[in-house]
């Protein structure tokens, strides 16, 4: 009982230490609808206790907590982080088997993902929004690029599809010639899972993306930069099905390898001894109904 009381006091002290607002010096000029940047004082226990705007329980391997999964590497500050915030690394290992129910053990996947809370928030998936995030590989917890990985995606509310996903590795069911490339995949031109944009996924480098998501017209536009360079448009608006509301995911979903699989959530090959990770920074979403998005701290452009 004493231990539980001490833990509660520690979490309350941590909650009071977390900044209620982030430094305006480096915050985007456009109004935010979601701010998922991680305060400097945060630990895995902060996520476990639900003190940040992420789901405290999902998506995690069975019997795992965020304290088991998250790391806080000392890396260069990402484009939209600042002196009050820091990077967070999502990792997977052999235990990362998502089990939504006793009859739904997703042994074909290895997956841990941060989900903004509240889930399926309609304010985040209506109108015109710009989703910002930065990510980089971990050179000590390298991915196995013979597998396909989803790193950021928007899943439909009924779990039937992903409106878009940022992938890397060998796309399942293909012989991808350049697996060490980020691929933004979506439903362009009414054809599911086409690559809309691609770039090399280099180690030791922040890869910054901003996705302008027009939920009214079912279209998206991609902005990209590296390190702390300002974002630049790398596509025009691309038709893409963004309907059915949904939930954002930031983390690792590692698909299996194998042929003639009828259900990749439960079937396929996953090697043993997995220790892999992806580092994230500057996760936030802007309300771009006014026609603008941030391309660097304090700098915005019309899209």
- Domain assignments of the chain as residue spans, ordered by start: 2-302
Nearest one of 294, 273, 276 to 285, comparing CA atoms: 294
What sections of the chain are H helices per DSSP? Answer: 2-17, 44-48, 66-69
Place of tokens 């194998």: 258
Q: Which of 147, 143, 184 has the alpha carbon at shortest distance from 165?
A: 184
Sheet bearing 110-114, strands edge to edge? 110-114, 247-254, 148-155, 162-169, 181-186, 194-200
- Tell me which residue has tokens 């305060």: 39
Beta strands in 189-241 (DSSP E): 194-200, 207-214, 219-226, 232-233, 238-239
**Counting beta carbons within 10 angstroms of the beta carbon of residue 184, is it exposed (0 to 12), middle (13 to 18) or buried (19 or more)?**
buried
Both structure tokens of 11: 């979490």
Q: What integer pLDDT is reported at residue 189 of this predicted model?
A: 53
Specify the CATH number of the domain 2-302: 2.60.120.1160
pLDDT of amino acid 7: 40
Provide CB contacts within 8 A for 278, sequence distance 6+.
89, 90, 135, 136, 137, 138, 143, 151, 251, 252
pLDDT at 232: 98
How much is the pLDDT for 27? 64
Predicted pLDDT of residue 188: 59
Name which of 274, 165, 282 is nearest 228 in CA terms.
282
Distance of alpha carbon 274 from alpha carbon 228, whole angstroms: 31
- pLDDT computed for residue 282 by the predictor: 98
Look at residues 46, 257, 225, 261 and name the one whose alpha carbon lies nearest to residue 132.
Answer: 225
Q: What is the pLDDT of residue 20?
A: 42
CB 250 within 8 A of CB 152: yes
Strands 85-86 and 38-39: antiparallel
Q: Token pair of 161, please?
A: 């599809």
Can you read off the two tokens belonging to residue 28? 């985007």
Q: How would you write the pLDDT of the chain (303 residues) with one tens digit per residue?
A: 434 433 433 444 444 445 443 333 356 789 999 999 999 999 999 999 999 999 999 999 999 999 999 999 999 999 999 999 999 999 999 999 999 999 999 999 999 999 998 766 788 999 999 999 999 999 999 999 999 999 999 999 888 889 999 999 999 988 777 899 999 999 855 556 789 999 999 999 999 999 999 999 999 999 999 999 999 999 999 999 999 889 999 999 999 999 999 999 999 999 999 999 999 999 999 999 999 999 999 999 999
pLDDT value of position 109:
98
Which of 166, 136, 163 lies closest to 151 in space, CA to CA? Answer: 166
CA–CA gap between residue 195 and residue 46 (Å, rounded): 36
């Amino acid at each position: 009982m004493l231990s539980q009381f001490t833990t509660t006091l520690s979490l309350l002290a941590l909650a009071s230490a977390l900044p209620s607002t982030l430094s305006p010096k480096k915050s985007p000029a456009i109004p935010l609808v979601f701010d998922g940047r991680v305060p400097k004082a945060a630990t895995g226990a902060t996520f476990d206790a639900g003190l940040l705007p992420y789901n405290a329980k999902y998506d995690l391997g069975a019997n795992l907590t965020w304290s088991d999964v998250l790391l806080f590497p000392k890396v260069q500050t990402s484009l939209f982080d600042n002196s009050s915030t820091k990077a967070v690394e999502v990792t997977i290992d052999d235990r990362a088997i998502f089990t939504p129910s006793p009859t739904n053990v997703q042994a074909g996947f290895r997956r841990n993902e941060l989900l903004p809370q509240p889930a399926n928030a309609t304010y985040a998936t209506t109108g015109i929004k710009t989703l910002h995030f930065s990510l980089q590989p971990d050179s000590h917890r390298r991915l196995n690029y013979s597998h396909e990985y989803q790193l950021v995606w928007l899943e439909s509310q009924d779990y039937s599809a992903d409106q878009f996903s940022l992938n890397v590795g060998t796309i399942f069911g293909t012989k991808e010639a350049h697996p060490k490339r980020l691929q933004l995949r979506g439903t362009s031109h009414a054809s599911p899972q086409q690559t809309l944009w691609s770039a090399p996924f280099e180690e030791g480098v922040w890869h910054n993306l901003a996705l302008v998501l027009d939920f009214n017209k079912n279209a998206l536009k991609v902005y990209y930069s590296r390190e702390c360079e300002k974002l630049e448009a790398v596509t025009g608006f691309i038709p893409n099905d963004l309907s059915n509301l949904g939930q954002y995911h930031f983390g690792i979903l590692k698909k299996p390898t194998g042929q003639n699989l009828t259900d990749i959530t439960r079937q396929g090959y996953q090697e043993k001894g997995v220790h892999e990770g992806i580092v994230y920074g500057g996760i936030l979403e802007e309300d771009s109904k006014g026609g603008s998005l941030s391309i660097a701290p304090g700098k915005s452009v019309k899209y």
